[in-house]
Copies of this chain bind each other. A is one copy, B any other.
Amino acid sequence: MTAMTMIEAIRDAHVIAMERDDNVVVFGQDVGYFGGVFRCTHGLQERFGDHRCFDSPISEAGIVGAAVGMAAYGLRPCVEIQFADYMYPAYDQIVSEAARLRHRSAGDFTAPLVIRMPTGGGIFGGQTHSQSPEALFTHVAGLKTVVVSNPYDAKGLLIAAIEDDDPVIFLEPKRVYNGPFDGHHERPIVPWSKHPLGDVPEGHYSIEIGRARVHREGNDLTVLAYGTLVHVAQAAAEEQGIDAEIIDLRTLVPLDVDAIVASVEKTGRCLVVHEATLTSGYGAELSAIVQERCLFHLEAPTLRVCGWDTPYPHAHEWSYFPGPDRVGRAMLKLMAT
């Protein structure tokens, strides 16, 4: 075990995957010589050479389109989109190509590739460095969508994603790169070295895509969360003294429905939280599934605490971000119903 930040865990996952399989290639804007604006690929070019890790032109469509072609050849590209907010130019290649290639060719060609992107706000990035577009991927048949919340999961899930034979969207909430951020932006950053999930095994291990993790056991209510909001929910529960069961979904598609149903049937109350805008966010799917499968166990309507239906505002990001107060108030409201 070594204490790692999530950045170090992601870098380590790259190294291990590249060492085990020559077909793994890594590229994207500033990822080669420089090592990525968040340093997640730092040292890979030096270590593996410029035919394994290299910089790309500023063309997200080109990065993903080329990756699809490379994957069809037999490689396993793991590419970085510098910010999730900039994935839109690549959206056609992701939705119409990577997601559909296996199906439309009946398995003749496949697209085993990973598209990594930093998501979420909290760094004063404004509307184009703060987005959480997961729901734009979960609606697309053929994509697996992973969102990580800590270094241990990040390494195990990234290795699993690179080894997966299907295209995987790998979302990295940038606010938890360096510590388990709980939404208290006014407080000093707690480093991962002080958190059990910052303990990362050396060498190869992988975490099954499609399995949720019970982050905190409890009986009062169930919180369905992923990414940064896992830590926010924990802070809210502790501050409100509510015995919440917090489920870190980790994978949105395929979804671990059993873990959700088991918990909601136990608690009878459910809160869904995410940072993305509310309307048509992935929380809507979770809320729909909960009432479809657990309606007669529900003692209260499932609530959603999410980003507002506006662009992510630079100066007001802490009013936009669903922090511990908002999440806590929703917990109290749920318990009062």
Number of copies: 2
The smallest C-beta distance from A113 to any residue of chain B, in angstroms, reads 18
- Docked Cα-Cα span, A285 to B104, in Å, equals 29
- Docked Cα-Cα span, A95 to B285, in Å, equals 21
Q: Is A207 an interface residue when CB atoms closer than 8 A count as contact?
A: no
Q: Is A76 an interface residue when CB atoms closer than 8 A count as contact?
A: no
Known pairs A285-B279, A304-B288; A139 contacts B141 (CB<8 A): no
The smallest C-beta distance from A95 to any residue of chain B, in angstroms, reads 6
The smallest C-beta distance from A152 to any residue of chain B, in angstroms, reads 27
Known pairs A100-B311, A287-B287, A310-B103; A139 contacts B280 (CB<8 A): yes
Chain A residues touching B, range: 35 or more
CB 8 Å contact bits of A135-167 with B (1 = contact, 0 = none): 110111110000000000000000000000000
Q: Is A43 an interface residue when CB atoms closer than 8 A count as contact?
A: no
CB-CB contacts below 8 Å: A87-126 with B? 88-89, 91-92, 95-96, 100, 103-104
Q: Is A228 an interface residue when CB atoms closer than 8 A count as contact?
A: no
The smallest C-beta distance from A96 to any residue of chain B, in angstroms, reads 6
Q: Is A72 an interface residue when CB atoms closer than 8 A count as contact?
A: no
- Docked Cα-Cα span, A88 to B60, in Å, equals 13
Q: Are B284 and A292 in contact (CB under 8 A)?
A: no
Binding site for B on A (CB under 8 A): 85, 88-89, 91-92, 95-96, 100, 103-104, 127-128, 135-136, 138-142, 253, 276-277, 279-285, 287-288, 291-293, 295, 298, 300-304, 309-311
User: Can you report 16 A-B residue pairs in the complex whose CB atoms are below 8 A from each other?
Assistant: A88-B95, A103-B127, A103-B310, A103-B311, A139-B276, A139-B280, A139-B281, A140-B277, A141-B277, A141-B311, A280-B280, A283-B288, A292-B302, A292-B303, A293-B301, A295-B300
